[in-house]
Amino acid sequence: MDELKIVASASYIPPTVITNDQLAQIMDTSDEWITTRTGIKERRVSLKANTSSLCVQVAKELLKKSKIKAEEVDLIIVATMSPDSNTPATAAIVQGEIEAKNAFAFDISAACSGFVYGLKVAANFLKDEQIKNVLLIGGEVLSKLVDWTDRKTAVLFGDGAAGVLLTSADTQQSYLLSSDIKTFGASHAKLTAGCDQVSPSFPPTGPQRPTAFGMDGREVYNFATRQVPKSLVRACEQAGLTPDQVDLFLLHQANARIIQSVAKKMKLPLEKFPTNIAKYGNTSATSIPLLLAELSEQGVLERGQIIAFSGFGGGLTLGTVIIKY
Ligand code: ACO
């Protein structure tokens, strides 16, 4: 068991709402198709702010909520698959913008599992006595990577950022109870985005542009519905819990049908699997902390609850972390 306390959660969602009907005006799709296949009704698109700007808003809100000064932050991790640039890391930009001058900062690239991978990484860093406060933020501007002529992927994704301030638990009540983190790299080509092209000639003849989303939707769907229940069961066993002892399952919000299928396979009531995908679509590394922040705002979360976080996506990556909140 690792000490790990979630002190605060926060989110920042760009204001521009794009509904299914708006998408139906620019591509051959419909609100009916998107809603029944995915559960998504609308998503946000960031028209001005890049990923780091969204994350800075979240970081500032987290500091405010947890009453911690920027200088007291020791580590900043941003989980993202849509960073501002290859270098610097988005986390480094956040560190500079909030003037967290004592923090070191880096990004994690694990697509939609990024927040869960980040929890595991942060828990390990928090064993170090020199590290007390960690900002872990999932931030995405996936609209940069969307091909708006490809209806198979364009309807799925949304922009936003959300995160948590973590500290080594001082109350002896908050713990990371177990974790099950896996990568299925042999299936890496099933979900791709932002692939930089190697120039076939020198000097290069035209601009080299990263590619848009490419996804074998059915394969990723099958991967998620098969592997997430197994991962949840392994993590529960490791924590010495039966699945029904877990109060809430916060799953990556990729598709409402995936969440329904996981709940059914686990023979658990759907009420234990809250969703907000209708409002935001698939926001990749942002989706789990965004759901957490919303549930916290709504007063749904209580200290002492057992919460399982489970992410899956590009890599293919998979991860479950169970905490005592
Ligand atoms: N509107 C209308 N029709 C569409 C659309 C659309 N937006 N997209 C596809 N279709 C059509 C297809 O062309 C196909 O038509 P055809 O039968 O004439 O060929 C038909 O609908 C069925 O297409 P499928 O791809 O088989 O639809 P499916 O039921 O599998 O749903 C979906 C597709 C929603 C993408 C689903 O496979 C899914 O959710 N997959 C998982 C994606 C995921 O979880 N990603 C998570 C990771 S994301 C990350 O890591 C960033």
User: Which tens digits make up the pLDDT trace of 235-261?
Assistant: 999 999 999 999 999 999 999 999 999
Q: Determine whether 282 is an active site residue.
A: yes
Closest CA to 48 of 143, 182, 135, 138: 143
Name the residue of 152, 157, 215, 316 whose CB sits within 8 Å of the most ligand 1 atoms, as the mutation to test its pocket. Answer: 152
Mean pLDDT of the chain: 95
Q: Is residue 230 over pLDDT 70?
A: yes
- Name the DSSP class of 159: -
Kindly report, residue by residue over 304-322, the tens digit of the pLDDT: 999 999 999 999 999 999 9
Same domain, 70 and 152: yes
Closest CA to 118 of 308, 271, 319: 319
Atom of ligand 1 lying closest to residue 220 CA: 41
Cα gap 86→213, rounded to integer Å: 17
How high is the pLDDT of residue 196? 81
Distance 217 CA to ligand 1 centre (A): 5
| Domain count across the chain | 2
Q: Which domain holds residue 52?
A: 2-167
- 217-245 burial by CB neighbour count: b if 16+ within 10 A, else e? beebbebbbebbbebbbebbeebebebee
Name the residue of 23, 28, 31, 37 whose CB sits within 8 Å of the most ligand 1 atoms, as the mutation to test its pocket. Answer: 37
Segment 214-218 mean pLDDT: 94
Q: Determine whether 55 is an active site residue.
A: no
For residue 314 and ligand 1, the question of a CB distance below 6 A is answered with: yes
Residue 258 lies in a domain: yes
Segment 44-57 mean pLDDT: 97
Distance 152 CA to ligand 1 centre (A): 5
Cα gap 190→96, rounded to integer Å: 35
From 112, 133, 236, 255, the catalytic residue:
112
Domain containing residue 110: CATH number: 3.40.47.10
Cα 87 → chain centroid: 21
User: And the tokens for 155?
Assistant: 């309807």
Judging by beta carbons within 10 Å of its beta carbon (0-12, 13-18, 19+), is residue 178 exposed, middle or buried? buried
ipTM of this complex prediction, to 2 decimal places = 0.92
Kindly report, residue by residue over 64-122, the tens digit of the pLDDT: 999 999 999 999 999 999 999 999 999 999 999 999 999 999 999 999 999 999 999 99
Residue 187 lies in a domain: yes
Banded model confidence at residue 170, pLDDT cuts 50, 70, 90:
low
Segment 26-39 mean pLDDT: 97
Banded model confidence at residue 204, pLDDT cuts 50, 70, 90:
confident
Distance 37 CA to ligand 1 centre (A): 7
How high is the pLDDT of residue 1? 61
Same domain, 243 and 109: no
| 230 vs 168, more confident | 230
Same domain, 240 and 215: yes
